[in-house]
Amino acid sequence: MLSFILRRLAIAIPTLLILVVFSYVIMYAAPGGPFDMERTLPPEVMANLEAKYGLDKPLIVQMWNYVYNVVVHFDFGPSFMYKDQTVNDIVSQGFPVTLTYGFWSFVVATVVGMSLGIMAAVYHNSWLDYVAVGISIGAQVLPNFVMAPILVLIFTLWLGWLPGGGWQGGQWQYIVMPVIALSTSFMASIARLTRSSMLEVLNANYIRTARAKGLPMRRVIFRHALKPALLPVISYLGPAFVGMITGSVVIDMYFSTGGIGVFFVNSALNRDYSVIMGITILTGALTVLFNLVVDILYAWIDPKIRY
Amino acid sequence: MNLKATLSLTAAAMVLATTALAGGTHPVTGEALSDNQTFTYRLLDQFPTLDPQLNEETAGGHVIRDLFEGLMIQDADGNVIPGVAESYEASNGNMTYTFHLRDAKWSNGDPVTAQDFVYAWQRAANPETASPYAWYVELTSMVNAKEIVAGEMDPSELGVKAIDDKTLEVQLTQPLPYFPAMTTYATLNPVHQATVEEFGAKWTDPENMVSNGAYTLTAMVLNEYHTREKNPMYWNADSVIIEKTTGYVINDVNQALTRYKAGEIDHLEPLPPGQYPALKAEMPDEASSVPRLCSYYYAFNLRPDAKPEIQDPRVRRALTLAIDRDVIVNQILKGGQWPAYNFAHLKTAGFEMPEIDFAGMSQKDRDAEAKRLMEESGVTDLDIKLIYNTSESHKQIATIVSQMWKQKLGVATTLENMEWKTYLNVRRDGQFDLARSAWCADYNEASTFLDLLTTTHGSNDGKFSNAEYDSLMTASKTSDNPNEMYTKAEKIISDESAIAPIYHYANTFLLSEDIKGWPYNNAENNWYSKDFYRVAE
């Protein structure tokens, strides 16, 4: 197991390097640069800007300097757009925000989604099943950019219970609506996955045997059915978790949370090269990491899997 | 009750007592003031910087205007009034300006000196600062500005020097009667040298920043909010009523509108597109539309290798005439914009609207004339490419204009929308027949618009070039009556159909009824929190 983990971590390094090179090339291939604006800057002003940010050097030199600074100094460079900030500043401010609402969204989506799925499977074709399926379909078809304005309309304007946006260091009032908006569609997917895989497992012979032995239903479900039923769910949860903690531009835009998602999208639009790279690497590294975590969980759940 | 509880209760009582004192009446108008002297507003996006010398856009400008004070500032009508400078004299035929500074202080108690301005201005021009607004220093015509920005001279050679702590002398290369007005802009605000040198790029963090305006920066979270609070060291602090201004970044305008209605923000600008009439009906005392000094137009590609039909002024004029601007303004935009038949915004200070012949015609006559010109030119089966950057309202306008051309002139239009930076690149490279464009005033004077169409201007993406126009604009710089030349220049734009003007902008916004002192008559929409106050409900 340990050698498996080490091997996977070793592969992560070239993976991330390839990611850096690809992103760099694609980014530079996109038309326009960070300092292009409505007003064409006089050549001398443009030259000063390019010199300050190293854009006057050949691409390969820029890339090498970038990787060198990241590896040796853990310095992701200054933002080209937010001139008083470095990429490290932006990520260290935005990522904790995203991590917080992403984590809670994950918890809510997983707990509620799995409960709904299990309930629907166990009470298959009963009204409980229909309610659970109904909720998950409803949650699935309501995208978060529709959810967000509706939530604010209800909880801020009509009821006056929650502030319409902001973060304020992560006080609970500010977390509730982002978490609801972000978690619902994940919750729906988890519920449907859990339900179908649970249904399959519940029809398996060994479950019939367990029930024939006279085991109580609760024990059958939690002891015998749940673990194997979770396998497909877990392979979904890994990427879903990364998706939630690396930010949602919709959540950040609608709730002004200041998370990483809105920085990522804006950096692409503004050609803020260093921020694009910084967040790409962060997302890439987290994806590699959580795919590994999923694989480890797999081995733990399914004894048939050996590495 | 334990000691701690007693203490906190006492503290609470004291806070209550002080806020009660903040109430009272307005010293000039006598209105009853609210106990809550705060102002909150919506920002569309996070501003890129609060460094006055690096700033290049409006949202940051509003904040910097509160935090830093230049030699001159603006009043609620947009007039230039003394800021840090108590007075000034122009000499040497408007080529030398001497400013006399008042006893102003930085927020840390240091005196604001002439040397602070020298440092800041040299910093703005210094290639190492790499300010995207370095061209503004060149625009002031300060001696050696251009050479310094180009790295050919040392920043210390800039034509500005401190005669003593309270006297600043500026040397220009050409007479600029409006130089004092230019000192209101962020680029020429002073900065605190010791702070900038100690903290580098981080000097604008709230814990580091030392400023000399009516407010100081007390909190700043990117893409969320920032707060600025009354600066007790400000020379005119006694007249400042608003204690705290907070700007919330709310990207989505409908979300911002909901939050405005929920009372979370006092000011929302701009309003969701097309919703101004409905909001005005719903909240007549809160919704406003004021001029905004920007012009919307379609640029014709006049490069020699561009589409030959477009090079024919009759075709350009036919296309211009066939646009029914009233439809665009009244049916699509609906926010108090003006149909445009010329380039410079009609509310630009001192600008006399030229006589543009087709402005007075009915649309029916314009259409007839357009058809006639098209026939005269002999151009048939014209197919043109119109580019615009992705946006719902640009799309609506482009669609309706292309329909007008199709119906009235039989001209086919290919619409191409692209993301902002791509569009800028394509437009700059001239890969279009017509390009949706807009230009906003850098200062409230018609040359800010009209200079754009001079041959050498970097943003003249249509590459219009006319020798008479160029010489008029050059002569206007040193003229005592430049407006006469502006009118002639506009006439050339119209006669040559250099561009197709479409509309002049308006700014639509909602402002809470409690907030008074808004500068409705400042055409540049420059506001200072220090001029506001909140009346008691």
As for the ipTM of the complex, it is: 0.88
pTM: 0.89
Whether the per-residue pLDDT at B7 is higher than 60: the answer is no
CA-to-CA distance for A215 and A208, rounded, in angstroms? 10
Nearest residue of B to residue A249 by CA position? B251
Angle made by CA atoms A51, B144, B74, in degrees to the nearest 5: 90
Tokens of B128: 């190492």
- Please report the pLDDT score of residue B23 as a whole number: 59
- Please report the pLDDT score of residue B116 as a whole number: 97
Shortest Cα distance from A149 to chain B (angstroms)?
Answer: 6
Shortest Cα distance from A133 to chain B (angstroms)?
Answer: 31
Sequence-distant (≥ 6) Cβ neighbours of residue A294 within 8 angstroms: A234, A235, A237, A238
Single out the residue of B69, B448, B383 nearest to residue B234, CA to CA: B69
- Please report the pLDDT score of residue B20 as a whole number: 40
Whether the per-residue pLDDT at A66 is higher than 60: the answer is yes
Mark yes or no for CB contact A149/B255 under 8 Å: yes
User: Across residues B194-205, what is the average pLDDT?
Assistant: 96
Mutation target for A interface from B41, B144, B254, B421: give the one with most A CBs within 10 A. Answer: B421
Sign of CA dihedral B174, B177, B179, B182: negative
Shortest Cα distance from B375 to chain A (angstroms)?
Answer: 36
- Please report the pLDDT score of residue A307 as a whole number: 62
Tokens of B325: 């601007």
Quickly list DSSP for B106-175: -TTSPBP-HHHHHHHHHHHH-TTT--TTHHHHHHTTBTTHHHHHTTSS-GGGSSEEEEETTEEEEEBSS-
CA-to-CA distance for A250 and A254, rounded, in angstroms? 6
Sequence-distant (≥ 6) Cβ neighbours of residue A278 within 8 angstroms: A76, A77, A87, A88, A90, A91
Nearest residue of B to residue A89 by CA position? B222
Whether the per-residue pLDDT at B6 is higher than 80: the answer is no
Q: pLDDT digit string (tens) for B499-521? A: 999 999 999 999 999 999 999 99
Helix axes A144-152, B253-261, angle to 10 degrees: 20
Whether the per-residue pLDDT at B224 is higher than 70: the answer is yes
Q: pLDDT digit string (tens) for B53-111? A: 999 989 999 999 999 999 999 999 889 999 999 999 999 988 999 999 999 999 999 99
Alpha carbon of B338 to those of B241, B320, B325, B326: distances in Å?
A: 36, 16, 9, 8
Whether the per-residue pLDDT at B526 is higher than 60: the answer is yes
Whether the per-residue pLDDT at B313 is higher than 90: the answer is yes
Nearest neighbour of B258 by CB, restricted to A31, A35, A164: A164
Q: What percent of chain A has pLDDT over 90?
A: 64
Q: What percent of chain A has pLDDT over 70?
A: 99
- Please report the pLDDT score of residue B8 as a whole number: 47
What's the mean per-residue pLDDT of chain B? 93
CB B298 within 8 A of CB B413: no
Helix axes B313-321, B482-496, angle to 10 degrees: 100
Phi, psi of B244 (to 5 degrees): -150, 130
Residue scoring higher pLDDT (A206 or B143): B143
Whether the per-residue pLDDT at B1 is higher than 50: the answer is no
Residue scoring higher pLDDT (B187 or A306): B187
Sign of CA dihedral B75, B80, B85, B86: negative
Q: pLDDT digit string (tens) for B442-465? A: 888 899 999 999 999 989 999 999
CA-to-CA distance for B499 and B522, rounded, in angstroms? 28
A32 touches chain B (CB under 8 A): yes
Tokens of B254: 């409908």
- Long-range contacts from B438-442, C-beta under 8 angstroms, 24+ separation: B438/A38, B438/B294, B438/B295, B438/B296, B438/B297, B438/B505, B439/A38, B439/B294, B439/B295, B439/B297, B440/A38, B440/B292, B440/B293, B440/B294, B440/B505, B441/B293, B441/B294, B441/B345, B441/B348, B441/B524, B442/B136, B442/B139, B442/B185
Q: pLDDT digit string (tens) for A76-112? A: 999 999 999 999 999 999 999 999 999 999 999 999 9
Residue B2 — very low, low, confident or very high, per pLDDT cuts 50/70/90?
Answer: very low
Shortest Cα distance from A68 to chain B (angstroms)?
Answer: 22
Q: What percent of chain B has pLDDT over 90?
A: 87
Residue B176 — very low, low, confident or very high, per pLDDT cuts 50/70/90?
Answer: confident
Nearest neighbour of B135 by CB, restricted to A36, A41, A259: A41
Mark yes or no for CB contact A93/B261 under 8 Å: no
- Please report the pLDDT score of residue B9 as a whole number: 44
Mutation target for B interface from A44, A91, A95: give the one with most B CBs within 10 A. Answer: A44
A159 touches chain B (CB under 8 A): no
CA-to-CA distance for B495 and A259, rounded, in angstroms? 52
Nearest residue of B to residue A169 by CA position? B221
Residue B5 — very low, low, confident or very high, per pLDDT cuts 50/70/90?
Answer: very low
Whether the per-residue pLDDT at A37 is higher than 50: the answer is yes
Contacts of A52 in chain B (CB under 8 A): 128, 130
- Please report the pLDDT score of residue A306 as a whole number: 66
Q: pLDDT digit string (tens) for B15-24? A: 444 444 455 8
Residue A239 — very low, low, confident or very high, per pLDDT cuts 50/70/90?
Answer: confident
Which of the residue ranges A43-47, A171-175, A205-209, A299-303 would you say has the lowest mean pLDDT?
Answer: A299-303
User: Across residues B11-39, what is the average pLDDT?
Assistant: 71
Contacts of A155 in chain B (CB under 8 A): none
H-type helices in B332-429, by residue range?
Answer: 363-377, 392-409, 420-428
H-type helices in B463-504, by residue range?
Answer: 467-477, 482-496
The secondary structure of residue B239, as a DSSP letter, is G
Q: What percent of chain B has pLDDT over 70?
A: 96
User: Across residues A184-201, what is the average pLDDT?
Assistant: 93
Whether the per-residue pLDDT at B134 is higher than 70: the answer is yes
Nearest neighbour of A83 by CB, restricted to B48, B225, B262: B48
- Please report the pLDDT score of residue A231 as a whole number: 85
User: Across residues B357-364, what is the average pLDDT?
Assistant: 93
A39 touches chain B (CB under 8 A): yes
What's the mean per-residue pLDDT of chain A? 90
| Cis peptide bond upstream of B270, omega within 30 | yes
Alpha carbon of B400 to those of A242, B287, B315, B407: distances in Å?
A: 44, 28, 19, 11
